[in-house]
Chains A and B, each alone.
Chain A
Amino acid sequence: MNRIVNAAKATYNFFVGDAILLAAVVVAFLLGTIVLHVLMSPSFGARNVIAAVLLIASVVAGLATTLGRELMSRKK
């Protein structure tokens, strides 16, 4: 059991290593999927732009949030 947990931890650390970044990327692609493939209006052109903006904004927000957290932990 320990081996499985260790392998899972090693995989997580290799690919992600930061829960905030992972959450931001998941949110980015979830929002993009919803806007592009679930919503039916507005037009595809408008949804395309909204999905692109949401994707990029979520990535930037994730980076800013994790840096902000680092800053807060150093201030304490």
Chain B
Amino acid sequence: MTSAQIAVLVAAFLASAVEFVEAFTIVLVVGVTINWRSAFVGAALAAAALAVLVGIFGTALVLFIPINALRLVVGVLLILFGLKWLKKAIMRFAGLKAFHDEEAIYEEQMADMRARGEVIETKIDTFGVVTSFKSVLLEGLEVAFIVITFGSGTSIAAGGKGNSIGYAAIGAALAGILVIGLGALVRAPLQRIPENTLKFVVGVMLTSFGTFWGGEGLGIHWFGADLFLLILVAFYLVVTGALILWLRPFGSSGARSGKSPMPSSAPSAEAVAGEGAR
């Protein structure tokens, strides 16, 4: 292996790791908040679509797929999904919406059935499948672009000698295995987080990813590239926290029976009692 090929492998590994983390974050939150079946179905469909695209276009993929248009569409949809989740989570934390809604009742019924030893078919959730699908498809395409451009770029630099695409693909595959392995480790702790807190965080994540990808699709160059995602997440957390504080005085304490992500000077009795309710 030449030094140029090692450089390609490492560069593809690092660049792909960032994309895998972004895709896997969405799959993980869909799995934890909706169900794993929907998350995996969405991811598998995206992987199949990617395989078909790569099979048809090969290295010419970069010429045929309008990645910025795709970023724009996925970004807009993620913002819409994220804001919908955020709105509900904020209203629940503020006491404007009851925690025990239809979904909660459904989950309780499922828990009762599990307790009775009945086999439950996890239903496929369209929202979960679509969210998982488009994130994996977009990020998967970006990984494919990285592999093709890094691989062919080095090949051209070396006067067309050797094929570095294979090394770039190995780097990307290693990154994928590493990210999926790490994701499997954090899955269990994530499932212990209260449901509304998780949905609140998912709303923030979807909105942040949506803003980032939508902005990129629009042609915005984010300061610090992918690192700006962290700034967006922090910003939306602060803003939504402020919105909860603004709405809290208008909410009924009866509806506020879950753990808020915001500090409260005097937590209500219902809030304390409701901690372990779900």
Interface residues of A (CB under 8 A from B): 14-18, 21-22, 24-25, 28-29, 32-33, 36-37, 48, 51-52, 55-56, 59-60, 62-64, 66-67, 70-71, 74-75
Please measure, in the bound complex, the distance between the C-alpha atom of A16 and the C-alpha atom of B266, giving whole angstroms.
Answer: 36
CB <8 Å contact, A52 and B90: no
Is B214's CB within 8 Å of the partner chain A?
A: yes
Contact of A36 with B218 in the complex, beta carbons under 8 Å:
yes
Structural contact, A22 and B80, CB atoms closer than 8 A:
yes
User: Nearest B residue to A17 by beta-carbon distance?
Assistant: B84
Question: Does A59 lie within 8 Å of B127, measured CB to CB?
Answer: no
Check A16/B220 contact, CB under 8 A, given A67-B87, A71-B96: no
**Whole-angstrom distance from the CB of B162 to the nearest CB of chain A?**
38
Determine whether B91 belongs to the interface, using a CB cutoff of 8 Å to chain A.
Answer: yes
CA distance A56 to B218 in the complex (A): 13
Q: Which residues of A contact B207 (CB under 8 A)?
A: 59
Find chain B residues with CB under 8 A from A55 CB.
211, 214-215, 218, 220
Q: Which residues of B contact A (CB under 8 A)?
A: 72, 76-77, 79-81, 83-84, 86-87, 90-91, 96, 126-127, 207, 211, 214-215, 218-222, 232, 235-236, 239-240, 243, 247, 250
Residue in B83, B218, B235, B243 whose CB lies within 8 Å of A21? B83
Contact across chains for B220 and A18 when beta carbons are under 8 A apart: no
User: In the complex, which residues of chain A have a beta carbon less than 8 angstroms from the beta carbon of B236?
Assistant: 60
Known: A48-B220, A55-B214. A63 touches B77 (CB 8 A): no
List residues of chain B with CB within 8 A of the CB of A15: 77, 80-81
The residue from B84, B127, B218 contacting A51, defined by CB atoms under 8 A apart: B218
11 sample A-B contacts, Cβ–Cβ < 8 Å, listed by A number: A15-B80, A21-B84, A32-B215, A51-B219, A52-B222, A63-B83, A63-B86, A63-B240, A67-B91, A67-B243, A71-B250
Q: Which residue of B lies closest to A60 (CB)?
A: B239
**Bound-complex Cα distance A25 to B76 (A):** 7
**What is the distance, in angstroms, from B186's C-beta to the closest C-beta of chain A?**
28
Closest Cβ of chain B: how far from A23's Cβ, in Å? Answer: 11
Closest 9 CB pairs of A and B: A32-B218, A21-B83, A36-B219, A52-B220, A60-B239, A25-B79, A51-B220, A16-B80, A48-B221
Which residues in B have their C-beta under 8 angstroms from that of A74? 96, 250
**Of B79, B127, B215, B239, which contacts A52 at CB under 8 A?**
B215
Separation of A67 and B218 alpha carbons in the complex (Å):
27
B96 touches A56 (CB 8 A): no
Residues of B near A37 (CB, < 8 A) are 219
> Nearest Cβ distance between residue A4 and chain B, in whole angstroms?
19
| Residues of chain A lying within 8 A (CB to CB) of residue B218 | 29, 32-33, 36, 51, 55
- A39 CA to B11 CA, complexed, in Å: 37
A37 (CB) vs chain B CBs: closest residue: B219
Nearest CB of chain B from residue A35's CB, rounded to whole Å: 9
Contacts of B86 in A (CB 8 A): 63
**Interchain CB contact under 8 A, A70 and B96:** yes
